[in-house]
Chains A and B, each alone.
Chain A
Amino acid sequence: QKEVEQNSGPLSVPEGAIASLNCTYSDRGSQSFFWYRQYSGKSPELIMSIYSNGDKEDGRFTAQLNKASQYVSLLIRDSQPSDSATYLCALSGGSYIPTFGRGTSLIVHP
C-alpha cells in the first residue's frame, strides 16, 4: 500500500512570496511523481510531473525530487491569489496507478 503524506495546512503566504509544499512517501519503488492543483469545487489539474532526482522548473513552479529521502516538493515563486487552491501530491510505481495524498490547502493573501 503506497502512503503519500502531506500536511493538510492551510499554508498561508503573502502575495509575491515563495510557497513551499511538501510530500513524503513510503514506497521506494515509486517512479513517477506528480503535483495536481484543485480549486474548490473543481477537478484536479496536473501542473507538474517529475521522474528523476533533482529540480524541474516550469514557469513559476519548481518540483524537487529526492528519492533517497522519499521526498518531493513543489515551490511556487511570486505567489498570486489565483494560486490559492489545494495541491495534491501523487505518485505511481510498477502498477502505473496514481496514488494521491490528501492535499495541502494553500492560501495566498494580498
Chain B
Amino acid sequence: DAGVIQSPRHEVTEMGQEVTLRCKPISGHDYLFWYRQTMMRGLELLIYFNNNVPIDDSGMPEDRFSAKMPNASFSTLKIQPSEPRDSAVYFCASSFRTGINTEAFFGQGTRLTVV
C-alpha cells in the first residue's frame, strides 16, 4: 500500500486566500484524522471521521476551518480566509480499528505558510 497521501506538500499563500489541503487515506481504513502540529501546541487533533462521517470537530479552531470526506478515499481540509497564525504543518492520518487496536498512520504532511 502507498500509505496515506497528502497534497500539496508545501503551500505558501497570502493572508485572506482560500487554502485546500487534500488527503487520501490507506485503503480499507475506517477512521481519518486531521492534525495540526506547531512548536507551541504540539500535535492537535482538529477533526476526525468514521466511515466518512464527521464525528468530532471540536478541535477545529474557528469557523474558517472546514473539512469534508465525500468518499472513503478522499478528504479535504479547507481554510477560508487564511491567516498568518494558521501557519503550521497539517497531517492527515488513518486507522482501521480492530478491538482496541487503533494504530494510526500518518501522511507526509502539508507545510502551510500564510504570509
The chain A residues found within 8 Å of chain B, CB to CB, are 31-32, 34, 42-46, 49, 51, 88, 90, 92, 95-103
Contacts and interface: CB of A to CB of B under 8 A. Distances in A.
Best-buried of A45, A49, A90, A100 by chain B (most CB within 10 Å): A100
Contact of B56 (A42, A43, A97, A101): A97
Interface of B: 31, 33, 35, 42-43, 45, 48, 56, 91, 93, 95, 97, 100-109
A43 B106 contact: yes
A74 to B, nearest CB: 16
7 contacts: A92-B100, A95-B56, A96-B97, A97-B45, A97-B48, A98-B45, A100-B35
A51 B101 contact: yes
B56 to A, nearest CB: 7
Main secondary structure of the interface of A (DSSP, over half): loop
Contact of B31 (A44, A88, A96, A100): A96
Nearest to A46: B103
Contacts of A102: 42
A34 B103 contact: yes
